[in-house]
Amino acid sequence: MMTFDLILKNINLPDGQRGVDIACSGGLITAVEHGIEAEAKEVIYGDGHLVSPPFIDPHFHMDATLSLGTPRMNVSGTLLEGISLWGELKPVQSIDQIIERALRYCDLAVSMGIGAIRSHVDVCDNELKGVEALLEVRNQVGHYLDLQLVAFPQDGVFRDPTAYDNLIRALDMGIDIVGGIPHFERSMQDGADSVKALCELAENRGLMVDMHCDESDDPLSRHIETLAYETKRLGMQGRVAGSHLTSMHSMDNYYVSKLIPLMAEAELHAIPNPLINIMLQGRHDTYPKRRGQTRVPELKAAMINVGFGSDCVMDPWYSLGKADMLDVAHMGLHVGQLSSRSDMAWCFDAVTQNSAKIMGLEGYGLKKGSKANMVLLQARDTIEAIRLRATRLAVIRSGKVIARASPVVSSLNLRGRPETVDPTQYAPD
Ligand code: FE2
């Protein structure tokens, strides 16, 4: 009889299948069936809990993470004070400090079931300390976490005099993806020109593009239109992502009715960052105060691929966060009013398979032949996982358990007899 490396028994799948078994060997999923009877080096009894492919974070800043309070706190809480605070930290932090913080964050991310992260790395530093540090981190974590790096000119690829040269150097050193920040350039025209130049650069090198695009409440910040145009012109459909896209929230409806089909035609990916943008946007408003999220239901309806990113954890822009993509999905669901059963389930896709598509991850999923990368959650289905921000009972990479946590169950004695409360016992059947 064949001996598998690992069998998970009696688990539920994100697509609604219940009571399934998954067998793994050689780092791959080799069977997904009911009632697998075989030997295995390790057996996990899932007890009707949900197994998902790993969470994927398609937008993060690993060069800044866990730096909260260094050299000082962001008092106003705004995006712009965050950028200037980051400008104070960059010259005084060492490569070793960036590496140490990033590795600690990767440990946290893995424990929370994240299997891949796309991180922007600021190239507006002539020493390229962040680039050097995160390339080292990418090497070190490669066997347990896929790290994709974006060359990100935080201070503007034209606005900062050495940013373009630094960006080229970063790509030459091995950074994967071309980034940008058109709304931060000096003028609308410079912003549009930056999108054109950076897309041409990426196309020449055969790279993907992921721009911070229109992270602004200005309804006239329309660089996403240029990004769609350049993507189509250069034949880069499916390889370009627009991150944040918050100005779309404030745009005129008529204009958006033209814009979204252009985005769909260019096969752009959209990456809203719900936690950060609900915190940072609308800061110039009194009341009513705008929400800080792009038009997720409308993008979804146009079949545009949308993946939610976490963006920041404990850094100059955001004091909170714990690498919990279910927290991100929970916020994205609320801000986007995605409250139907199918929309809530879609929010789980937006932190798993949609983002895997953005990153172009191969072998992602729970099919026979997929990589044996999974997370066992203390929840029976995807909606319950979001509702509970479910405990990650086991994180599996290449068919091996690399992180475990105990289920959250409370013991109490209120009516003269002991009871236990398991948060998963309240879901509708
Ligand atoms: Fe960002």
pLDDT for res 253: 98
For residue range 313-337, what is the model confidence (pLDDT) as tens digits? Answer: 999 999 999 999 999 999 999 999 9
pLDDT > 90: percent of the chain? 96
Cβ-defined contacts of 233-237 (< 8 Å, 24+): 234/199, 234/200, 234/203, 235/203, 236/199, 236/202, 236/203, 236/209, 236/266, 237/266, 237/267
Q: Residue 46 pLDDT more than 80?
A: yes
Q: Output the CA 158–ligand 1 centroid distance in Å.
A: 18
Active site residues: 215
Q: Output the CA 4–ligand 1 centroid distance in Å.
A: 41
pLDDT for res 199: 98
Q: What single DSSP character describes residue 133?
A: H
Q: Output the CA 61–ligand 1 centroid distance in Å.
A: 6
Distance CA(200)–CA(157), nearest Å, equals 14
Q: Output phi, psi for 2, to 5 deg.
A: -70, 140
Q: Residue 429 pLDDT more than 80?
A: no
pLDDT for res 1: 67
For residue range 116-164, what is the model confidence (pLDDT) as tens digits? Answer: 999 999 999 999 999 999 999 999 999 999 999 999 999 999 999 999 9
pLDDT confidence bin for 351, thresholds 50/70/90 = very high
Residue 71: asked if its preceding bond is cis (omega within 30°), the reply is yes
Q: Residue 399 pLDDT more than 80?
A: yes
Domain 3-53+366-412 sits in which CATH superfamily?
A: Urease, subunit C, domain 1 (2.30.40.10)
Q: Output the CA 58–ligand 1 centroid distance in Å.
A: 10
Q: Are the folds of 3-53+366-412 and 55-359 the same? A: no
Q: Output the CA 60–ligand 1 centroid distance in Å.
A: 6
Q: Residue 291 pLDDT more than 70?
A: yes
Please check whether residue 109 is in contact with residue 60, taking contact to mean a CB–CB distance below 8 angstroms.
no
Q: Output the CA 111–ligand 1 centroid distance in Å.
A: 22
For residue range 235-270, what is the model confidence (pLDDT) as tens digits? Answer: 999 999 999 999 999 999 999 999 999 999 999 999
For residue range 66-90, what is the model confidence (pLDDT) as tens digits? Answer: 999 998 999 999 988 998 999 999 9
pLDDT for res 292: 86
Q: Residue 282 pLDDT more than 90?
A: yes
Amino acid sitting at position 359: M
Distance CA(21)–CA(206), nearest Å, equals 40
SS3 of 63-84: the string is CCCCCCCCCCCCCCCCHHHHHH
pLDDT for res 79: 86
Q: Output the CA 122–ligand 1 centroid distance in Å.
A: 10
Taking the complete model, does pTM exceed 0.95, yes or no?
A: yes
Pick from 124, 142, 143: which is nearest to 63 by CA? 124
Q: Which residue has the tokens 């960059």?
A: 90
Average pLDDT on 296-316 reads 98
DSSP letters for 240-260: EEEEE-THHHHS-HHHHHHHH
Region of 328 (left: φ > 0; alpha: ψ -120 to 50; beta: rest) is alpha
pLDDT for res 80: 86
Q: Output the CA 395–ligand 1 centroid distance in Å.
A: 26
- Domain-wise residue ranges, the chain: 3-53+366-412, 55-359
Q: Which residues pair with 204 in a beta bridge?
A: none
Q: Output the CA 21–ligand 1 centroid distance in Å.
A: 38
Distances from the Cα of 20 to the Cα of 3, 23, 386, 399, angstroms: 18, 10, 21, 17
Distance CA(8)–CA(42), nearest Å, equals 9
pLDDT confidence bin for 2, thresholds 50/70/90 = confident
CATH 3.30.450.40 fits 55-359, yes or no: no
Q: Residue 227 pLDDT more than 80?
A: yes
pLDDT > 70: percent of the chain? 99
